């Protein structure tokens, strides 16, 4: 039995309003932790999710000096031979960067306290992209570096 088009009741988008919208796909959150030996860990899931290429393992690591301590670390890809480069090393099933001295200088007591950072892609401008690692635990203010940006 064929139905004629004029016998079909078509719905309008307005009739669909009031329906619960479909949930947006959940954004994956990637977390890195600091080991008791001062290594910043990059589990395999984080490496794959953020498309970090282990064949390009060199990063500059920095932070913004603030009166209230360090809240974030920044990783910017760089080349082998860069005097400011830290190397991403294979450790078990993931990777890590040895930052013991830096973490101690910024006041992280990683031997007695657990620290974790949420890792997200970050655009620094001028075509430079890397990662921002944000902690919900600020470190105490260290040293007398310039902290005029706050």
In sequence order, what are the residues at sequence separation of 6 or more whose Cβ sits closer than 8 angstroms to the Cβ of residue 31?
46, 116, 117, 118, 119
pLDDT of residue 6: 77
Q: Per the confidence metrics, is the pTM higher than 0.85?
A: no
Residue at 144 is within a domain = no
Residue at 119 is within a domain = yes
The domain total for the chain is 1
**CA–CA gap between residue 31 and residue 134 (Å, rounded):** 9
Q: Residues 31, 62, 120, 57: what is their CA dihedral angle, to the nearest 10 degrees?
A: -80
Mean pLDDT by 10 residues, the chain (150 residues): 75 72 69 94 95 94 77 92 95 94 88 92 90 78 43
Residue at 25 is within a domain = no
Largest CA distance in the chain: 86
Residue at 66 is within a domain = yes
Residue at 82 is within a domain = yes
For residue 85, give its domain range.
30-134
pLDDT of residue 9: 77
Residue at 150 is within a domain = no
Residue at 99 is within a domain = yes
Residue at 7 is within a domain = no
pLDDT of residue 28: 79
Q: Are 106 and 141 in contact (CB under 8 A)?
A: no
pLDDT of residue 138: 59
Give a three-class secondary structure readout of the chain. CCCCHHHCCCCCHHHHCCCCCCCCCCCCCEEEEECCCCEEEECHHHHHHCCCCCCCCEEEEEECCCCCCCCEEEEEECCCCCCCEEECEEECCEEEEECHHHHHHCCCCCCCCCCEEEEEEEEEECCEEEEEEECCCCCCCCCCCCCCCC
């Amino acid at each position: 039995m064929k139905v004629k088009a004029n016998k079909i009741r078509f719905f309008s988008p307005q009739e669909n309003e009031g329906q619960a919208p479909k949930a947006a796909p959940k954004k994956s959150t990637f977390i890195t932790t600091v080991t008791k030996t001062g290594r910043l860990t990059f589990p395999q899931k984080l490496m794959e999710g953020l498309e970090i290429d282990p064949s390009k393992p060199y990063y500059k690591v920095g932070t913004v000096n603030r009166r209230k301590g360090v809240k974030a670390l920044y990783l910017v890809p760089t080349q082998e031979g860069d005097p400011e480069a830290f190397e991403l090393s294979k450790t078990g099933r993931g990777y890590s960067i040895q930052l013991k001295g830096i973490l101690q200088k910024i006041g992280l007591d990683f031997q007695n306290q657990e620290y974790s950072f949420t890792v997200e892609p970050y655009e620094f401008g001028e075509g430079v992209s890397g990662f921002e690692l944000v902690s919900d635990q600020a470190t105490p203010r260290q040293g007398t570096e310039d902290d005029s940006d706050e």
